[in-house]
Chains A and B, each alone.
Chain A
Amino acid sequence: MNLLADSLLELIRRTSAEIPDDVHQAIIASLENEKKGTIAANAMQLIEQNIGLAKSKSQPICQDTGSILFYVDCPVGYDQLTFEETARDAVKLATKKGFLRQNSVDSITGKNDGTNLGPGSPTIHFHPHRSNHVTVRLVLKGGGCENVGAQYSLPNEKLKANRDLDGCRKVILDAVLQAQGKGCGPGILGICIGGDRATGYEFSKQQLLRPLNDRNPQPELDGLEQDVVETANRLGIGPMGFGGKTTLLGAKIGVLNRLPASYFVSISYMCWAYRRQGVALSPEGGIEKWLY
């Protein structure tokens, strides 16, 4: 195997088995915050135990190892085809080793060939830039949390949500209410205001690449991010929807321009098992640095 293949396999293994530190700190804080002896606190304790066990056994944190989403920042002229072939090989090997579940199904025949390779799997997004650095970020997003993602078209009369930030707030909080229990909370929201139906969801997922403890540079969005988390945590939904204090660990909002006729708010829900890692690669393809 070449160096790039080794690096991608290690990136997949670590993403599947180890929660990134920023998320882990937030989980520990919320565990301490739940009232002792409640089923919410017990669930958080089990989650914390699970995080340790997955890391020490080098096995998946969650059995649903999810959609395999690579985000590659690379110089102009980078050999994307070789990267793609190498990534496919790494995914196949990682599946054989049990770092990934046999998770890719033909939508018409229902056949699962056990390789995790097929149309749309893995998905690789390339972003060229004018620097020599190559960074690869990986998100493994499970189906349970993906299923509770939501896209709202404003105005929404039922929710009294108009085409403004207050309308955005209303639909975001509705998505939190509807997702309860199903999406393995406490959750993290990636949100896109604007865009079209495809770019909106895509950009909402990209928000999940932001570190959990960063702040939005746009004050009105920063305010909305903080407000959504605080309000959601007052609703008593709690871990796994058991009731309790921690419903969200974070919310990240990005904005795209829209057409005059469209006003979408797209919300991607990430479960507590927030599998996201990244590496900076050396020119030879070795791992130089972990990004989270």
Chain B
Amino acid sequence: MREPLFWTFGALAVACAIMCITRRSPVASALYLVVVMFSLAVLFVLLDAQFIAALQVLVYAGAIMVLFLFVIMLLNLGRPGPSDIKGPAGVAAAVLLPGVLLLQLAALGGATPPEAITLPAEALATLQRQEGVVNAVARPLFEEYLIPFEITSLLLLAAIVGAVVLAKRRL
């Protein structure tokens, strides 16, 4: 059951990503990107990451994409102007370099994680059954990764101050 669903939504995500990078209007691109993010949320659920899927919908599709649409609206870019896709040299680079990258990633695809750090199958699902889906993520976040978590608050503070300073006309 899982595999056909996975391939369906994976194909939907890739198709909408192609539409996203080829549409002329930024609004159309943004809406296709929202579809990509929702399909990724479905993939996360299929990969036993229900909490991350909820966050994906809330933070990415809900907050970040609304911010993008807001800026598009603010700058009045909604109607498609002259195409912003680069000339033949740009298209050649955009086909060639990602092609090389895809070949490299395909070569890496056969590699598996080393045995020493691999957990037994179903270990994650068992942990989630024992502790609950949110607890399983929260425990390492607030124990092992507490200091990075606190540093993230500094990053967000810097981003808030930076965004206000940059976007404000006169301080």
Partners in one complex: no
Mark B residues whose CB is within 8 Å of A: none
